[in-house]
Structure 1
């Protein structure tokens, strides 16, 4: 059913994208299609706001196609029926070829960043206040919600625990059916913690319950803790969280987060067009920064040139002109491009993919991927 819905969305996107980039190669296109989260999401609203800016200054018709899940957002990009995706962290998983991308219909994706939005929300373990957790080390022996069928959420929990040198083996795993259920389990006294954004409705519900809410901090001056967490999940950055439930705006907690949305394209997307879009988003930032919730995070100074994914050649060209790209950024870029190449080569070399069951392919690919990255002297991250 998911893939049937994906095919329908891809068809809709194809109609919107048919007259896009090629009609005006090397500049801001007159028509283009971006995929994004659902219509009620901040990412969708931001894409619409950026589209209005492009319409005003360049006459561009940007059609934003909402997708309910990672597959429906990224399939049009994979199939080159949409030029861009205002994606979530799934873009990173796509680069790595893990989770939903460890599938014969996917495999590692040649994704490149244009820009990212780094907001003031936090991502952390939300705990019941009565559980007595004040530091990540206090999580040892606590009950933690483990969401079935959501490996990305559970991976985030593992990364947070790694801050204190802990793993899933150091906590009590409480299996739940979904994200909302992970917080229901805390409220009902079955669990003590779950992973979430500070702006999600679920922590707000916990805060209003008798158990209360407390975010587990990851102190920014704890060098070793950050080394451990970054090794487990290189997508994380430091943030003094200023928005969300039980967040003290006068003394913002030391938490972590990663960008959302992440504006990405395939490596084959026209470099001149990418350059023009990035330049437009930077130069006309004032036009959309207040037009959608969270859009302030797109500002040029927020861009991290040494993040977990490589930038598109067109974006690199602009950042060089803007004085934001240096030798260290280029060295990091080269490493990431090499990493993508290693992963892609390993995928192409894996024989018998088409005849394997999903479970067998996931297992075989997991081993091949880890072996290839280790042989290249690179950290597999996802073991």
Structure 2
């Protein structure tokens, strides 16, 4: 983890800086975008990066806007430029939620809860779940009891995903045989070799496809959308998951569907104090120009208006709320949810300021422990679930 080395890696993923407004007709009215947009995203070759390139092509062709992408290989390198104001936007993963909550890798002295706001998300045909060896009789997460379950050292997002699936089945790590691996790809090697039986992943990744083609094959445990208790247990661990009918997954035949779960990827976020008009104009372009880019990259279909989760775990940017109100796609229920999320962020920000101003421990582990205790106490006092402890 760490900072991106220098501005020399800041490059245009699409074109050089000579591509400015060139007289092309605007595709939508009242769009106020800067001539150049800098942003961070996952590394080159990732799905999120590819999507940003395709959206950048749309912005170039329709609005004369150049998009420059800083590819970051980990969560800190993607979110640091956003925190410092070097870029106004990040095409992040679920770490944006961890950042807004000030937990896991963001519970240290140098971070704390971040004032992150959503511009738009992509929820496409793929899912996120436990790829289970197909030679086992695993139909639901409850069937994982006693099985060998992968745990990745230093990978909070994947491990929490696995833990959430176990919770859906009424299980914990104590009910399975935890098998530790040093990295994500190694978990799939372990499943193929018989060292483990599971690996948490996006359903369309090459490693999942490789497992499907191996002698063990692959299966995806079903998450019944009507199992309210199961979903309550899952969301108590990872509230960012949502039920999803997955049609793109390793091992699925044409026309087949897996009833599982997902969360958005990528998640386009900015800071709450980003007031340039970028957030409102960009969401307007993504919604109103959707037909122009929906087929340009895998996953772009996830930006459709009907695929936006209007009551998720991170509040929308104020400009985005204003746009949804303008087009009549905002309800009182959505506003109530938004207000509660903003209140949660405010509580976290105030608690962090009070904690760091109150002579907290110098030791990193003690600092984190003290912060997590203060955080949980403040949220519980407001009637909110801390989720992380």
- Match runs of 1:100-249 below 5 Å: 100-249=105-254
- SS of residue matched to 1:330: helix
Is 1:320 the counterpart of 2:325? The answer is yes
- SS of residue matched to 1:371: helix
Q: CA RMSD in A?
A: 2.2
The number of residue pairs the alignment matches comes to 373
Q: Are the aligned partners of 1:128 and 1:212 in contact in 2 as well (CA < 8 Å)?
A: yes
Deviation at 1:10, TM superposition (A): 9.3
- SS of residue matched to 1:130: coil
- 2-structure distance, mates of 1:131, 1:357: 45
- For 1:361, the equivalent position in structure 2 comes to 367
Q: Are the aligned partners of 2:48 and 2:266 in contact in 1 as well (CA < 8 Å)?
A: yes
Deviation at 1:353, TM superposition (A): 7.0
- For 1:372, the equivalent position in structure 2 comes to 378
Greater share of residues in helix: 1
Deviation at 1:155, TM superposition (A): 0.9
- 1-structure distance, mates of 2:208, 2:47: 18
Specify whether residues 230 and 360 from structure 1 end up closer, same or farther in structure 2 by C-alpha distance, changes over 3 A only: same
- For 1:263, the equivalent position in structure 2 comes to 268
- SS of residue matched to 1:115: strand
- 2-structure distance, mates of 1:353, 1:260: 38
- 2-structure distance, mates of 1:363, 1:26: 45
- 1-structure distance, mates of 2:116, 2:140: 36
Q: Are the aligned partners of 2:10 and 2:68 in contact in 1 as well (CA < 8 Å)?
A: no
- For 1:284, the equivalent position in structure 2 comes to 289
Specify whether residues 328 and 283 from structure 1 end up closer, same or farther in structure 2 by C-alpha distance, changes over 3 A only: same
- 2-structure distance, mates of 1:368, 1:119: 37
- SS of residue matched to 1:350: helix
Is 1:306 the counterpart of 2:311? The answer is yes
- 1-structure distance, mates of 2:149, 2:304: 36
- For 2:24, the equivalent position in structure 1 comes to none
Deviation at 1:319, TM superposition (A): 0.7
- 1-structure distance, mates of 2:8, 2:80: 7
Work out which of the residue numbers 6, 9, 27 in structure 2 matches 1:8: 6
Unmatched runs of 5 consecutive residues or more in structure 1? none
- 2-structure distance, mates of 1:311, 1:196: 27
- 1-structure distance, mates of 2:83, 2:360: 18
- For 2:280, the equivalent position in structure 1 comes to 275
Q: Are the aligned partners of 1:241 and 1:247 in contact in 2 as well (CA < 8 Å)?
A: no
